[in-house]
Amino acid sequence: MIEWWTPQDVYELEARCARFRIAKLALDRGAEETDREDEADPAA
């Protein structure tokens, strides 16, 4: 565990969180698009 946070530590943590949020949004949007395709194509 980090006892003393440096500005670099904070920057790296914020960057990791941002990458995680972007990846989660991409996954959520992919799931929504799959649902839309299933609704649009009744033969599927």
State pLDDT tens for residues 1-33.
668 999 999 999 999 999 999 999 999 998 777
pTM for this entry: 0.59
Please compute the mean of the pLDDT values over residues 33-41 and round it to a whole number: 67
Range of the domain at 16: 1-44
Residue 41 pLDDT exceeds 70: no
Burial level of 43, CB count in 10 A (0-12/13-18/19+)?
exposed
Higher pLDDT, 21 or 42: 21
d(CA 33, CA 28): 9
